[in-house]
Chain A
Amino acid sequence: MTISSEELQAKIKKLFEEGTIDHFIGYEAGSDSLHTTPCFLKNGEQVSRLVWNPLCPYNLSKYLLDFREGEGRTGILVKGCDARSVVELLKQNQITRDEVFIVGIPCTGQVDPDKLLEVTGASPAEITGIKDEGDAFSVTVKGKTQKIDKQKLLRDKCMVCRYPTPPLYDTLLGEAVDSLPWVTDDYALVKEQESLSSEEKAAHWNNEFSQCIRCYACRNICPVCICKECIFDKKMPRWVTKSTALPENMVYHLIRAFHVAGRCVDCGECERACPMNIPLRSLNKKVEKDVLDLFDYTSGVDVDQPAPLTTYQTSDLEEFL
């Protein structure tokens, strides 16, 4: 069972008092009852702002990059997926292990506000409370509390989550969760796509890519997109033009999928941030599946394991020839 906001606040207050952390990154209540927002604390007196509920999908680990020049130790609240991206940042020497204090929290799924509104048929203002009850979410709509099956409300990424408990943490709040009961086949979506013919795949992706407005939200929010100078911002050579023509969009998405190959932890932030609802997780999940099949590698689990595309073995699969 996950912990309450009060327990989280007490724990963080204690960490501040002990001098373990100098800053803390967590979640606080957002502008409406369906959203939380990232929260940055500088001392223990502010901990009452912190919340923890099933509406905290955001991956906070990218904020660690903003804090790396600062003084002191940064505490960060991470779910399983977020912790994996912290591992990736460590692996790429973007942050120093000593300067980060990882507060892990076992996560039993995050609610998708869109699905919630659809299932309850209510407006955001009418929904006042959402609680994780283990096998279901209890949702309070217009003062009435009802239990709703988790699988109806979960975010897509949570439906295929293999790491509900952070693989790396300094302190863990609540009890570790080994696996989630609804996760059966991580790659069902990818396999379905793979089974289509080339024509069907091309039609599908041409349709999706042509909707892209190239706002770069997926890149900006990605916790493993850490280049100071991104290839898409370069003028010489210019890899993609500013036009949103289909070939340019295709180049953008393919190169991005390849750049996060073997590093993507499927935190789902790209798809959440996308204003055009392009199924970006499908692309990344495909690469993730191939890297697992080909090189037996899972990203964000072991800090000491070398990245799959920077190393090789003479016995690697040889399909060409």
Chain B
Amino acid sequence: MKDTKEAKTEFEPKILAFCCNWCAYAGADLAGVSRFQMPTNIRVIRVMCSGRVPPELVIRALANGLDGVMILGCHPGECHYSEGNYVTRRRAHVLKRLLEYIGLEPERFQLRWVSASEGARFAAVVKEAAEKITALGPNRLVNGK
């Protein structure tokens, strides 16, 4: 048992972040230019809207071995396309429950709202996710067990 614990401390999770072009991606950019310290576990994919992220992409990413998936979008009411993030919110609530039902830890799939001016918030959100997922260890859905 001690061996696994040692292995866990060295574990560096891979986390996929779908960032909406108008808010979260700009927020990530601001976090960068503001030189906030962030964990390097995050892989960003820019999408035009958080509503463009179908559940298939999230499920595929987790099955391909990603340890966590985040969808980052504009705050409700601030979507560039008026209603994209509201639809995402509905989907995400259903998807999260479905993933938990088959044994995924709730922390591995997250939806977060980050606006273009919230660089510090982006850094904090990413840091929190990285810490939680590092503590959980590798994604057990693909590794069997």
Q: Is B63 within 8 A of A258, CB to CB? A: no
The proximity string for B residues 88-106 relative to A, scoring 1 for CB distances below 8 Å and 0 otherwise, is: 0111111111111111110
Q: Is A258 within 8 A of B104, CB to CB? A: no
Q: Is B110 within 8 A of A258, CB to CB? A: no
Neighbouring A residues of B97 by C-beta, 8 Å: 286-287, 290
Q: Is B101 within 8 A of A251, CB to CB? A: no
Q: Is A294 within 8 A of B63, CB to CB? A: no
Cα distance A49–B55 in the bound complex, in angstroms: 46
Give the contact stretch, choosing among A100-108, A137-145, A160-168, A195-203. Answer: A195-203
Closest to B101 in A: A286
| A316 touches B (CB below 8 Å) | yes
- Lowest 5 A-B CB distances belong to which pairs? A202-B103, A201-B103, A312-B86, A247-B63, A205-B102
Selected contact of B56 from candidates A239, A290, A321, CB within 8 Å: A239
Neighbouring A residues of B93 by C-beta, 8 Å: 290, 294, 316-317, 319
Interface residue ranges of A239-263 to B (CB < 8 Å)? 239, 246-248, 250-251, 254-255, 257-258, 261
Q: Is B64 within 8 A of A247, CB to CB? A: yes
Cα distance A308–B91 in the bound complex, in angstroms: 9
Nearest CB of chain A from residue B24's CB, rounded to whole Å: 13
Neighbouring B residues of A200 by C-beta, 8 Å: 103
Neighbouring B residues of A206 by C-beta, 8 Å: 103, 141, 144-145
The verdict on A290 contacting B112 (CB below 8 Å), with A198-B103, A316-B86 known, is no
Neighbouring B residues of A295 by C-beta, 8 Å: 90
Closest to B73 in A: A320
Cα distance A248–B63 in the bound complex, in angstroms: 7
Nearest CB of chain A from residue B103's CB, rounded to whole Å: 3
| B45 touches A (CB below 8 Å) | no
Nearest CB of chain A from residue B135's CB, rounded to whole Å: 13
Closest to B99 in A: A254
Selected contact of B94 from candidates A198, A246, A309, A318, CB within 8 Å: A309
**Could you jot down 16 A-B contacts, CB within 8 Å?**
A190-B101, A198-B103, A202-B141, A205-B102, A206-B141, A239-B60, A247-B64, A250-B63, A255-B55, A255-B56, A261-B94, A286-B98, A295-B90, A312-B90, A314-B77, A318-B76
The proximity string for A residues 282-321 relative to B, scoring 1 for CB distances below 8 Å and 0 otherwise, is: 0100110011001100000000000011101110111111
Q: Is A203 within 8 A of B103, CB to CB? A: yes
Cα distance A316–B83 in the bound complex, in angstroms: 13
Beyond known contacts A247-B63, A294-B94, A318-B76: 6 more, CB 8 A cutoff: A199-B103, A261-B94, A287-B98, A309-B94, A310-B87, A320-B111
